Amino acid sequence: MAYIENDNIGPIELYATAKGICKCKFSSLGSFERNLLGQNDHLDATAAQILSDAICQINAYLSGELVRFELAIDWQGISPFAKQVYQAAMEIPFGEVRTYGEIALAIHKPAAPRAVGQALGANPISLIIPCHRVIGSDRYLHGFSAPRGLETKAWLLQHEGHHIRENRLV
């Protein structure tokens, strides 16, 4: 596990297995410390390398030097539907957005935009799976599971070149 501090979006906790990143969440130092104390002492070299790569890529993304993450993902524990949603979100290019309905269409479930929203709301690998690039059909930002919520989503979208006014893309 690893911890990154960022002035714009707050702290991020990262977790990896030998298969890939399994969690990337907006957090707090206290939460990270509690989780760190609960970890076992076994350090897998592959997981450590994946974490190192993830830290470098996240820092490069946040400083404007990276537009696409190239990291292995450990999909264990993620439902087939959620995995489809997350993979569709990962296909949204830097600087672009899609609606919940467009993601539902992309995964061949046109009647499921709400289920898409629920899956994205439970995204265990935020930032790397860019759920911030999914917005409402009304162009408003809807829900974001970071401590600062829509403020963080807005910052990420502005970082990618979007203009936002009153939680709406303009």
What is the CATH topology of the domain spanning 80-169?
A: Arc Repressor Mutant, subunit A (1.10.10)
DSSP three-state, residue 157: helix
To the nearest whole number, what is the mean pLDDT of the chain?
A: 92
- Residue ranges per domain, the chain? 2-62, 80-169
How wide is the angle at C-alpha 121 spanned by C-alphas 38 and 86, nearest 5°? Answer: 90
Tell me: pLDDT of 146 over 80: yes
135 forms beta bridges with 99
Q: Is 15 helix (H, G, I), strand (E, B) or coil?
A: strand
Catalytic residues: 131
Which of 105, 102, 168 minimizes the C-alpha distance to 141? 168
pLDDT band per the 50, 70, 90 thresholds, residue 17:
very high
Res 40: pLDDT: 61
- Residue in 111, 107, 69 with CA at minimum distance from that of residue 90: 69
